[in-house]
A and B are shown apart, each in its own frame.
Chain A
């Protein structure tokens, strides 16, 4: 019994410590990481957007793979917008931290659209996939509109 209790206690303490370690990520690191996620989103979204615009030949295989990557990536940047990062120099606008409700909505929209793209990419209908690629692009753009410094 006692051993078990100690084990639980140790686990709890370690868990808490792990949590603290995460929370104590240097703000500069959080910014670097979220920017890296955005860069990778671009890497995997770019070719799909090219296909939707007819610039590159459509390739269902590539879309399936990239849509899977993007689905996961779309959920990764947001914990990087921790309040501790608000003074770190980046293209994020103050609205990210002052209008959290709207930022949450905008980020959820990308997650939803990217997830839909993942689903649709498996159904194989080229037209529907292309439409959904455009929807993802709009989710990116509408969030950049309010929350990123214009480039």
Chain B
């Protein structure tokens, strides 16, 4: 009997090590996921030479101006004192470590769908950044929107926490695309119209929206059916069409930070998913 103990113990040991390795998170994978999530867009100032992830970018909304905070591991200015559980709760539940609610300008409405393993990798990547001491700038919000407890009601109405679950009836490629678009890519935050309380209308998912006087295009098959995969990929890789037309800067930035950085397979998955959506008519003007 006793001779079987050795290998059994060794097996247990290996299991423990691999569990520890899993629990550690892979910073390299996390870096790719951070690109797929476009984190750098809001968490980096627009000024030339600004430190990536040190915060400062202004996001103007009808409710006020939000400033992306510093998410480098600096203990005071950044999130250096956070635990992994704090990070997971921020992304999954939209809550600060002290329990207060985040404004949904931080798109946890999408990020809640990111699966546990990916959150771990993202966290490992954020921990690997150089700490930066740039203080986060407070948001400048309209009078009515300054109380964070109101967000509890908002979340109760419009927010469901929980990771993405693949649909078994759909192909692995379409499911991967759905994950990239709805969880990490948070495409719907701009491409889906919102109601007067600023919540996205799920029945109009990706059917285009009005931001101020400019319209964000419909990216369901209604709009995409006349565009070939090759053309779409070209646009998402370069920010330009083959006839030399240049995308507007807000999407050009998404192309630089995210879509041009995706692997060939992931880009294929995004297209496959978008093409699988129900074709919705454009927003009425």
Taking Cβ atoms with an 8 Å cutoff, the residues of A that contact B are 39, 41-47, 49-50, 53, 55, 93-95, 137-138, 140-142, 144-146, 148-151
Contact = CB atoms under 8 A, between A and B. Distances in A.
A41 B252 contact: no
Given A41-B244, A144-B247, 4 more contacts: A46-B240, A50-B238, A140-B246, A141-B246
Contacts of B248: 141, 144-145, 148, 150-151
B242 interface: yes
9 contacts: A42-B245, A43-B244, A47-B244, A49-B246, A53-B238, A142-B249, A144-B249, A146-B214, A150-B248
Interface string B211-245: 00111110000000000000000000011111111
A149 B208 CA distance: 12
A9 to B, nearest CB: 48
B6 to A, nearest CB: 56
B245 A151 contact: yes
Contacts of B214: 93, 145-146, 149-150
B249 A151 contact: no
B243 A151 contact: no
Contacts, number: 64
B233 to A, nearest CB: 12
Contact of B250 (A53, A94, A140, A145): A145
A141 B216 CA distance: 15
B39 to A, nearest CB: 21
Nearest to B240: A49
Interface residues of B, number: 20
Contacts of A141: 239, 246-249, 252
Contacts of B216: 150
Nearest to B234: A55
Contacts of A93: 213-214
B213 A95 contact: yes
Given A141-B248, A144-B246, A151 B240 contact: no
A138 B250 CA distance: 11
Given A53-B238, A150-B215, A151-B217, A45 B249 contact: no
A39 B238 CA distance: 18
Interface in B148-164: none
B208 to A, nearest CB: 9
Q: In this complex, which of B216, B245, B247 has the most chain A Cβ atoms within 10 angstroms of its Cβ?
A: B245
A137 B239 contact: yes
A141 B240 CA distance: 10
A42 B246 CA distance: 8
B246 A149 contact: no
A53 B242 CA distance: 13
Highest count of chain A CB atoms <10 Å: which of B216, B241, B252: B252
Contact of B244 (A49, A138, A151): A49
A44 B251 CA distance: 22
Contact of A46 (B213, B217, B243): B243
A145 B249 contact: yes
Contacts of A41: 244
Contacts of A151: 217, 245, 247-248
